[in-house]
Every structure is written in structure tokens, then in C-alpha cells.
Structure 1
Amino acid sequence: MSILHILEFGEVRVPKSLDLSYLNLLCRYVEPSVREHFTTGMLDENYIRTNERFINFMTLQCRTLANVVSKWAGYELLAEKLHHHCDNIKENLVTTGRPLPGEITVLNHGDLWVNNFMYKYDDEQPTKPIDAIFVDFQNSFFGSPGCDINFFLNSSVQLDVLIHRREFLIQTYYASLRDSLERMHSAFVPSYADIQQEIRARELYGFFSSYAFLPMVTMKKEDSYDISIEALSDQDFAKKKVQLMFSSNPRTTDTLRYTLRRFDELGIFD
């Protein structure tokens, strides 16, 4: 993509609901050697097993979530399951990111949340997006499309859209994927049921996104201005900020009340 094309995308604005129609994941059909450069993502097993700082922060976020949920009426059993998940956080993260036999493979962005999209808007309708590009590809990897889709749905979508339009977004994604592959005369075009299965098999990726990213994404600006990688290395600061992440915005708790029930009904904690 040329720099001139990039410059056409002006101020980055985050809409209240996002459309998946631009997610044309064609990358299983690119030059095979490209795969060599995208073998590991955010949940690379070696990174998880060797990066103590990462594990400590994930444990803090997961444990904070479990403690918050334990105070919600009717969520006591679910809170126990969350604490158990936290007790085995390293192995659970490895399981979340590990490739599955026979899965459909695409190039995942790897960090698919709203701040990593840049939009071009209609000149006559300034609030209407007409094109989009991704930015920040440092965590891209080849794997199931269920990884990116679950990460995105659980980090970036407004709750009413998640409840009422989730299936529509997935259908829109699939239609774009299918049409693109058919135009390329691909020998294999997955069915909608195939994509649904990929998403179902990667629901743990959505749970990871919901406790590790949603609270940061929805945090109020006045509460997040001083957050940085360096600042979070201070344990006392990190504890205070993570607690604030789960309490500063009602959208966070409202979304988690819904998504955690859904995850539990799907049996991902059992």
C-alpha cells in the first residue's frame, strides 16, 4: 500500500459500532514463504512460558476479574471457575493460543481492536466510513480466523451490537471472505458452518480479550492518561490501575456480565 493511499485516511475516529465487511482475509493464498515471517502471535507458547512479567500481569487482570465477579449476585459459581482459571493461567493461555489440528488458516492481525483501524470518511457524510485499513502488525500470525474474530468481538463491539447483531457481523465477514475467494478461483471456499466452527473452537481467545483488553479499551480517558508499560511495572501502581479498569466504566461490567454468562454456557471454563 502506498504512502499516498495511507495519507488519504485522515483523523482516526472510533465509531460506536464496527462493521466486519472489510475483513478480507485472503492470506492463506499468498506466497508460501510469507508464512515464515508470521509464525508467532501475542500468545506464542515460548513467550508465555518465558515472560514472567506478562504472566504476572495476566494473572493480576484475571484475578481482579474473578474478585469483581464474586461480588455479583448469582455469579458465585462462575467466580469460582474464574479463580480456578487464574490458578492455571499459564497453561490456559498456552491452550488459548496453540494451533488446532485441521483448522482453517488465515493471516490474523493479532491485535484486532478499534485503535488499530483507520477509517476514511465520506466527504459529504463525515460520519459515514467508506473504507478502512489496519495498522500495527507486530502481533500478526497465521492461524484460525476464530482468533481475530473472537478477539475483536470481545474487545471492541458495543454491548447492544454484541447481543443483537453478532451473527450479522459474522455473516458479513463470511460473505466478504467467500466472495473474495471465489473471485480468486480458490480451490477451497469454507462454508459458513466451517467459519462458525472456527469461531466456536476459539471462544477462549474471546475470553482472553474480555479480561486482558476490554477493561483497557473501555477505560475512561481521565483514568488512563498515566498508563504506560513502564508505569505498570510498578506492582502497586498496576494493582490500583487494574482495579480501576474493571470499575471506572459501567460499559465494562455490563459487557462482562453478558459475555461471562455466555462463555460459561458454552462450557469454556469446564
Structure 2
Amino acid sequence: MSTKVPPAYINANYIQQAMECYFEKCVIILECTFKCIALEGEYCSSDIYRTQVKFEINRHGRRVYDNMSIIVKDAVMDVSAPMGTNELVMFKHVLPHVRRILSEVTFYHYQVPETDHRTLLTKMFADCLFCERGKNEVFVLEDLKASNYKKVDHRKGLDLELSRAVMRKLADFHAATMIYLNTYPSAAATLFPSTFANGISPISRHAAKVFEGMRTAIKLVEQWTGFGGIAASMRIWLENCNERLTQVLQTERCRFQVIAHGELWAKNILMRMSQKYCVGELRDAAFVDFQLSFVGSCGYDLNVFLNTSVQLEVLKAHRYELLRYYYDRLTETLKYLNWEEEKIPSWETVMSEVYDLEFIGYYALLYLLPISCMEREASTQDNEKQHTSLYENERVQEMFRYALERFAKLGVLECVIQESGNPPS
């Protein structure tokens, strides 16, 4: 836990203004403390603070004392995106509509509780009290920990039950964004394209790390018996990575459009595990970090999640089942939201979207998975040692062996040689 204090502009007065915007009434701050829970660095673009607030507010005609836990996210602007990210638009415009849309399905329990704050209704994301863009992007958010949502162990990956919870919530999110884009057709123009729509910008904060990680992965795979052809194909695609990203992320090629989360891996997923005071599902997922959200294919989020966040044995045995579960929930939610039945995507259409974006799964496998599996001590090592330890991780190597053979079999890598006499599993 860092001892870093927030910058001068993030203080009790700032929190008071944010709370007054949210509650639309006067708030008197009695006590406000900040604790840094995440630092901006090589793999994180924000400083994040948990803020404990004691305050006085008028409710039902009388002054009451209350307390609230708040998350303050101070996001550093990337030089490759001087106009900022899509997170501001998502929190100010898109996500409030998503919540309203889903609240129409009453038994999904997405309604905001009006009285009993102990009743923890279903959350998809944190409420945003206030956000703004200046030198940085600053977000003042509710703390989902107060609603029993907690971080998952992203190093181990999710079991079947937790993976199903994510698929259920992702399907709801995608369905609601389909309704949103249909209701507000000009809304898509307010969101920037995917940060990878024109390839990985050479001046972006993570460009060097992405390509360095891919080169490290290739060196590892070259050492494995029977993987020479796969490694050769990986080298070819390293040189043509940006061209392939541009190709698969063309919005026009989507058979139907959703707003993709953009980085749906376990580090951006919180899980509610307790049933105490809860309405709805016992296991429930919520999403954080919408910086990379964009209008595009459902296949983006599905490929990132499956290739970074699901336990290998679960993926081997239940990949098809998880995709089918996502599809069934997507269809069910669209029907509840009165989407025209003839416009509901077919199972074959969704699977085509997943297949077309398998290369995104390849990128996520090589770059995001090793970061997700990184042990705490590795984060303090120098670059060379850090990269070595990232790719020496047992789960990373097991996932590589399984997923790379699968990609080769699907033709994603267009292997130049098939050294093994046995078909990939």
C-alpha cells in the first residue's frame, strides 16, 4: 500500500463539490481521509485513492450524519491520446443510460435502492459522483467494496461459476448498449474509436511494453519442441501486428454493434461473493475502468476475457458452454427490452464475431495474461528481470501451449509449418 498523498487539487473541498453534484443538495464534510490504493506506473495509467468521508446532509427535512467510502481516480493523459479517453463520456452519458435501460427488467434487480442501503442490489459499475477532464481526467466514484464487490484473484483465473457470472453481466452490458446505440444513433460519434483501430501507436505509453512482451513470448515458444512453426508465424505477425489489428477492428465489418468494455480481464472485474442482504444472484460481477471502451464487436470483450481470465481447465472443458451462456443471456435480455426479435443476432452471427476477432485474443494472451499473472514481487524488478519472471509463470506457459495450438488450428496464425504430427487440441 502506497503512502502517496493526492495532489493539491484533490482535497476535502473537491469531494464536497462532487457529493453535492451527486446528491443535489448541500453537504457538510466533517472528516475526509485519503489512502492511495494504486499507483500510476508501467501497467497502470492512474493513481487511485480510497476516500473515507464523514458528512452531514439534509434527508427528509432533517439533518443527519452519515459516512461514505469513495474512490478517486486521477488518470494521467497519454501523449498518444491528447483528447483523453472514452471513460469520461462513458460515465457522464453512456453508463447512466445503460443502468436506466436495464432497470426496466425489474427481476434483474438493477434498480438503485431508495431506502434500505443494506439491500445490495445488482451493480454493473460504480456510480459516478463527478468527473472532469483537465490536465488529467479525474473521476469521483462510489466504492463498490461497500456493496460487497471485491477484487478477484486474477493470478489464478476464474472458476466456472465466476466465469458464468461475468458472461451474464457482459451479455447484459452489450444488450443495453445495443438499445442505447439504437435509441441515440448519433451517440457512437461521441466515442473515440478503439485505441487499436489504427494499430498500436508508437508514442503510446504501453507500445514498447506490448512489442517487448510479444518478442519475449516468441523467444519462449521457440524453445518448445514442436512449436517451431507456431513461433515462426508469431514472428511474422509481430511485424504485421498493426496491420492485422486495423483489419479486424474495422467497425464496418461488425454484423451488429455493441459498446465494448475494451479491456475485460480479471483485473477490471470485481465479484460479489456474499449473499447477506443481497437481492439477485449469489455470485455477481461488476466492471471497472472504461478508458478503452469503444463501439465495435462483442467478439473483442469475449476474446480478451477468455484468453486472460478463465482457469485453463475451465476453458478447455467449458469454452463453448460459456459462449453459449453469454448468447442465451444476450438473447433473453434483448427480448425483455423489447428488441425486435428478427433483429436479435443468431448464435452463428455471434460466433462469427468471436472468430473474426480471435487475433485480439492472441494479443491479450501474449501481453495481458502475463501481466494478470504477475506476482507482487515481480512488479518491483527491473525491466529485464520482470519480463523474464512474467513469462516463466506456470499458468502463463500452460495457457500459451493450449491457446497457441488452438490459434494455429483455427488458422489465426496461418502457421508456416506444422511440426507436430498430432492435430492441436
Is the TM-score greater than 0.5?
A: yes
**Matching of residue 64 in structure 1 with residue 209 in structure 2:** no
**Matching of residue 21 in structure 1 with residue 165 in structure 2:** no
Max radius of gyration: which structure?
2
> Percent sequence identity over matched residues?
27
Q: TM-score, normalised by structure 1?
A: 0.86
Q: Secondary structure at the match of 2:283?
A: strand
* CA displacement 1:207-260 (0-9 Å, x = unmatched): 010001001111222222x27xxxxxxxxx43332222111x211100100000
TM-aligned CA distance change 1:201 to 1:11, over 3 Å: closer
Q: How many residues align?
A: 257
Trace 1:164-183 onto structure 2 (pairs within 5 A): 164-183=317-336
Q: Give the conservation status (yes or no) of the 8 Å contact 1:121–1:129.
A: yes
Match of 1:193 among 302, 323, 348: 348
AA of the residue aligned to 1:245: L
Cα distance in 1 between the residues matched to 2:282 and 2:375: 24
Greater relative contact order (CA < 8 Å, ≥ 6 in sequence): 1
**Matching of residue 138 in structure 1 with residue 291 in structure 2:** yes
Match of 1:34 among 187, 192, 208: 187
AA of the residue aligned to 1:13: V
Match of 2:368 among 188, 213, 222: 213
Q: Give the conservation status (yes or no) of the 8 Å contact 2:255–2:349.
A: no
Answer with 133-142 or 17-26: which moved more: 17-26
Q: Give the conservation status (yes or no) of the 8 Å contact 2:261–2:290.
A: yes
AA of the residue aligned to 1:180: T
Cα distance in 1 between the residues matched to 2:217 and 2:149: 37
* Structure with a larger share of its residues in strand: 2
TM-aligned CA distance change 1:242 to 1:42, over 3 Å: farther
Q: Give the conservation status (yes or no) of the 8 Å contact 2:149–2:272.
A: yes
Q: Give the conservation status (yes or no) of the 8 Å contact 1:103–1:198.
A: yes
Cα distance in 2 between the residues matched to 1:124 and 1:49: 46
Match of 1:75 among 208, 224, 227: 227
Cα distance in 1 between the residues matched to 2:318 and 2:212: 32
AA of the residue aligned to 2:326: Y
AA of the residue aligned to 1:9: N
Trace 1:237-256 onto structure 2 (pairs within 5 A): 237-247=382-392, 249-256=393-400
Q: Give the conservation status (yes or no) of the 8 Å contact 1:108–1:145.
A: yes
Answer with 91-100 or 28-37: which moved more: 91-100
**Matching of residue 155 in structure 1 with residue 302 in structure 2:** no
TM-aligned CA distance change 1:52 to 1:181, over 3 Å: closer
Q: Give the conservation status (yes or no) of the 8 Å contact 1:43–1:96.
A: no
Q: Unaligned regions of 5+ residues in structure 1, if any?
A: 228-236
**Matching of residue 12 in structure 1 with residue 151 in structure 2:** yes
Q: Secondary structure at the match of 2:168?
A: coil
RMSD (Å), alpha carbons: 2.4
Q: Secondary structure at the match of 2:150?
A: coil
Q: CA deviation at 1:49?
A: 4.2
Q: Unaligned regions of 5+ residues in structure 2, if any?
A: 1-98, 100-111, 113-126, 128-141, 415-425
Cα distance in 2 between the residues matched to 1:241 and 1:96: 31
Answer with 13-22 or 172-181: which moved more: 13-22
**Matching of residue 115 in structure 1 with residue 267 in structure 2:** yes
* Structure with a larger share of its residues in helix: 1
AA of the residue aligned to 1:254: E
Q: TM-score, normalised by structure 2?
A: 0.56
AA of the residue aligned to 2:158: K
